[in-house]
């Protein structure tokens, strides 16, 4: 289940939607979902996507779409850095059963 909404990604990137969703928009939405799972250290998608996560997916997806084919395209490292910054507030307040980062174990 992709976290973003392809229509929202198109609206943010292009100011409107196409009559049919371009394949690249769906691909970007799926890629952003995978990257968010990596940042949040999740092995599976949320069954019910938190609003902040969906908003981050839409924002980053639109940024990736907007920069597609431009010389000023964001690097992979910049995309991951932005995702970490945008998800920081969620990571700080997420329910314990929805998070697995920052755990320290002493043996």
pLDDT single digits (tens) 18-57: 999 999 999 999 999 999 998 888 888 998 999 999 999 9
DSSP result, 49-94: --HHHHHHHHHHHHHHHHHTTSTTPPPHHHHHHHHHHHHHHHHHHS
Q: Are 4 and 48 in contact (CB under 8 A)?
A: no
Pick from 58, 33, 40, 29: nearest CA to 94: 40
Write the Ramachandran bin of 79: left for phi over 0, alpha for psi from -120 to 50, otherwise beta.
alpha
pLDDT single digits (tens) 4-28: 999 999 999 999 999 999 999 999 9
Three-class SS of residue 95?
Answer: coil
> pTM of this prediction?
0.79
State the pLDDT at residue 57: 95
Measured CA to CA in angstroms, residue 102 lies from 52, 80, 84 at distances of: 20, 18, 14
State the pLDDT at residue 59: 93
pLDDT single digits (tens) 64-104: 888 886 756 667 778 888 888 888 878 777 665 555 555 54
């Amino acid at each position: 289940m992709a976290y973003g909404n392809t229509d929202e990604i198109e609206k943010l990137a292009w100011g409107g939607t196409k009559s049919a969703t371009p394949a690249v928009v769906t691909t970007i939405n799926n890629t952003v979902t995978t990257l968010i799972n990596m940042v949040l250290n999740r092995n599976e998608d949320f069954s019910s996507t938190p609003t902040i996560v969906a908003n981050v997916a839409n924002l980053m997806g639109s940024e990736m779409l907007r920069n597609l084919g431009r010389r000023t395209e964001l690097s992979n490292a910049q995309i991951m850095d932005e995702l970490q910054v945008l998800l920081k507030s969620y990571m700080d307040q997420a329910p314990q059963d929805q998070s697995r980062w920052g755990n320290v174990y002493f043996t």
